[in-house]
């Protein structure tokens, strides 16, 4: 085993500057209630732009159309903000800091819908717990009427899947959010649910410490489900390796490899003491990277029965909240609870990440591939959903010529986001999935 040490909070990891716009800036355009002013803010960060070491507040004024044939809404910015016109067919506003090449493009949603279903608060009959520790009464008596969406996934065939806090999983139409099916069987919050590679099976996990496998037919109707027990705390992440094996990670510090045909554990890939494993991702071959609450990324060979023997360890410096592997660029991306992000070359893990930096946002909830499976799409707890293209990732940390794409509209935590068929889908704690046309170059 090799151990690398780095810190996303070290002096070498800059705090990136950021431009912020009023989250509902596009509403006045949709409702044609113009002219209107929306507030702007520039946060300098430790990597401050030349001549702009202080935070700046300003206003973007969106003008009414001069005539019915006008193709754009004219805008103007106050102070150091330069603003682009807004095309009538694209809810896209570009804000640039004067005398620099630093800018953000803000995209409004083209659509927004709930994925809870019309009867989300109905009382369901759950199957009993099997071979799991008894839950405290305060938890077993918990109401099932909460409808917070914890996580969502999209199948290759274009079907949505949402893990919800009332113990259900909804299967829904990607075009309009219409719920096709509800999967019932968990007794508490479902924190994670993902499709199998085949699309006709789902793996999920939650607060009831159970991993469940749901088999679906071609119409996404539930045929049967299998329950896997063995964890002793909530399930934070799951991944299907193939049609027979799944991995699950838990707050109990373990990652278990399951044989779902035999309904049993193959072995514990990881067993840590008093350390939560918050997220996992698969990298090259049989490598498993674990984002741990003690600030370490631990990498294991999940095909070897050698618990507590990672092949690599990288110390990040703050609790890790999420991790993913970008297959096209072979990069390992991590996010932290303190809004840190970093990139490793998965082909050759070294002492330090290729890039690491801190955002002026909330906890990083998810990281995922951006457009064309390149770049980086990030969701955070402050309502941010933003993207760095492959080109931006290459020039980091040169923030003097940096550009960020922000997908706006949420005023609550964005749990995760995905790109599908050139659209961005963002799942928000307020219950909405917001859909965005992927950005075009201005």
Listed by start position, the domains of the chain span: 2-7+110-437, 18-101
Say which range, 45-49, 79-83, 259-263, 312-316, has the weakest mean pLDDT: 45-49
Bridge partners, residue 179, by sequence: 172
Token pair for 86 = 């807004």
| C-alpha to C-alpha distance for 244 and 142, rounded to whole angstroms | 34
**Residues in the chain, how many?**
442
Regarding the domain delimited by 2-7+110-437, which CATH topology (the fold level of the hierarchy) does it fall under? Answer: Methylamine Dehydrogenase; Chain H (2.130.10)
CA angle 383, 388, 390 (to 5 degrees): 155
The residue among 284, 113, 124 whose CA lies nearest residue 190 is: 124
Kind and range of the H or E element at 139?
helix 137-140
> Are 17 and 48 in contact, with CB atoms under 8 Å apart?
yes
| C-alpha to C-alpha distance for 239 and 63, rounded to whole angstroms | 49
Say which range, 151-160, 259-268, 345-354, has the weakest mean pLDDT: 345-354
pLDDT digits (tens, 9 = 90+) for 365-381: 999 999 877 899 999 99
pLDDT digits (tens, 9 = 90+) for 118-169: 544 444 433 433 444 444 433 333 333 358 999 999 999 999 999 999 999 9
Of residues 350 and 410, more confidence is placed in 410
Mean pLDDT over 167-196 rounds to 94
| C-alpha to C-alpha distance for 117 and 149, rounded to whole angstroms | 12
| C-alpha to C-alpha distance for 136 and 90, rounded to whole angstroms | 51
Q: Please give the sequence-ordered ranges of beta strands (E in DSSP) within 8-102, or none if there are none.
A: 18-21, 36-43, 56-62, 72-73, 75-77, 81-83, 86-87, 92-97
Pairing, β 355-358 against β 340-345: antiparallel
| C-alpha to C-alpha distance for 185 and 21, rounded to whole angstroms | 42
The predicted pLDDT at position 220 comes to 66
The predicted pLDDT at position 48 comes to 60
| C-alpha to C-alpha distance for 283 and 311, rounded to whole angstroms | 13
Residues in contact with 7: Cβ distance below 8 Å, sequence separation at least 6, in sequence order: 13, 315, 316, 317, 318
pTM exceeds cut of 0.85: yes
Say which range, 30-44, 54-68, 383-397, has the weakest mean pLDDT: 383-397
Q: Rounded to 5 degrees, what are φ and ψ at 392?
A: -65, -40
User: Residue 367: exposed, middle, or buried by beta-carbon count in 10 A (0-12, 13-18, 19+)?
Assistant: buried
Mean model confidence pLDDT for the chain: 86
The residue among 442, 428, 441, 439 whose CA lies nearest residue 149 is: 428
């Amino acid at each position: 085993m090799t151990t690398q040490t780095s810190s996303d909070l070290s002096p070498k990891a800059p705090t990136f500057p950021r431009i912020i716009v009023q989250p509902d800036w596009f509403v006045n355009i949709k409702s044609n209630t113009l002219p209107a002013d929306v507030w702007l803010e520039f946060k300098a960060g430790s990597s401050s732009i030349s001549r702009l070491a202080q935070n700046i507040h300003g206003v973007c004024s969106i003008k009414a159309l001069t005539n019915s044939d006008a193709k754009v809404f004219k805008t103007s910015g106050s102070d150091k903000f330069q603003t682009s016109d807004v095309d009538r067919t694209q809810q896209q506003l570009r804000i640039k800091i004067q005398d620099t090449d630093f800018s953000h493009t803000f995209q409004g949603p083209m659509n927004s819908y709930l994925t809870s279903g019309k009867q989300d608060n109905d009382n369901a009959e759950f199957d009993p717990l099997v071979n799991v520790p008894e839950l405290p009464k305060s938890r077993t008596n918990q109401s099932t009427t909460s409808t917070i969406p914890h996580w969502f996934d999209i199948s290759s065939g274009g079907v949505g899947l949402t893990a919800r806090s009332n113990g259900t999983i909804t299967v829904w139409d990607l075009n309009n959010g219409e719920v096709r099916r509800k999967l019932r069987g968990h007794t508490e919050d479902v924190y994670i649910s993902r499709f199998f590679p085949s699309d006709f099976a789902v793996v999920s996990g939650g607060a009831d410490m159970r991993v469940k496998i749901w088999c679906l037919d071609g119409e996404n109707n539930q045929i049967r489900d299998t329950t896997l027990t063995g964890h002793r705390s909530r399930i934070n992440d799951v991944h299907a390796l193939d049609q027979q094996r799944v991995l699950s990670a838990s707050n109990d510090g373990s990652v278990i490899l399951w044989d779902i045909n035999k309904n049993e554990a193959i072995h514990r890939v990881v067993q840590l003491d008093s350390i939560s494993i918050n997220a996992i991702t698969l990298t090259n071959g049989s490598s498993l990277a674990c984002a741990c609450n003690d600030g370490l990324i631990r990498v294991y060979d999940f095909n070897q029965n050698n618990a507590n023997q990672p092949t690599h360890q990288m110390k990040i410096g703050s609790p890790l909240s999420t991790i993913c592997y970008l297959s096209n660029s072979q990069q390992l991306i991590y996010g932290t609870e303190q809004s840190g992000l970093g990139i490793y070359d998965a082909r050759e893990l070294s002492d330090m990440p290729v890039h690491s930096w801190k955002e002026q946002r909330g906890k990083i909830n998810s990281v995922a591939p951006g457009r064309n499976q390149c770049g980086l799409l990030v969701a955070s707890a402050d309502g941010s959903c933003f993207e760095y293209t492959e080109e931006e990732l290459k020039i980091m940390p040169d923030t003097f010529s940096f550009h960020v794409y922000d997908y706006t509209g949420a005023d609550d935590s964005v749990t995760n986001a995905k790109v599908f068929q050139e659209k961005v889908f963002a799942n928000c704690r307020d219950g909405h999935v917001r859909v965005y046309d992927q950005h075009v170059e201005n």
